[in-house]
Amino acid sequence: MKKPILQIIKFTLFSISAGVIQIGSFTLFNELFRWRYWPAYLVSLVLSILWNFTFNRRYTFKSAANVPVAMAKLFGFYAVFTPLSTWLGHLAETAGINDYVILITTMLSNFVLEFLFCKFFVYKNQEDTLTTKSKQEGQTLL
């Protein structure tokens, strides 16, 4: 019972840090560069995904899973989530909903869905496989 709760806490903390990156970069693109919602969202999402994947693989799920395979699985998630959330965000923006309300709503749904996807698909049967030996043998953190 402790392990899942600890994973949720770690995932939450890393997701918060990824959220800071996403909101910070989104704000930069939206306010400073005056990008439209969807490109600002898309670039900031990619930055947060890379950050979140790296730390959650290493510290939350402690997985020695093949990085390209794990990343490809997560890419599959985002191949569905990103176009759908970008399209829905664009529709919401054109309906006059505040960009930051759209962003926060999208980020919260991403948080829950990504945790479940990683836990039950990306790292299924591969959690806690990152040992001290595999770290010393030069496995990459990404």
Let me know if residue 141 belongs to a domain.
no
Render pLDDT for 102-140 as a digit per residue (tens, 0 to 9). Answer: 999 999 999 999 999 999 999 999 999 987 545 555 555
Render pLDDT for 8-45 as a digit per residue (tens, 0 to 9). Answer: 999 999 999 999 999 999 999 999 999 999 899 999 99
* Domains: count for the chain: 1
Q: Which two tokens stand for residue 114?
A: 């990504």
Let me know if residue 128 belongs to a domain.
yes
Q: What domain range is 25 assigned to?
A: 2-135
Let me know if residue 86 belongs to a domain.
yes
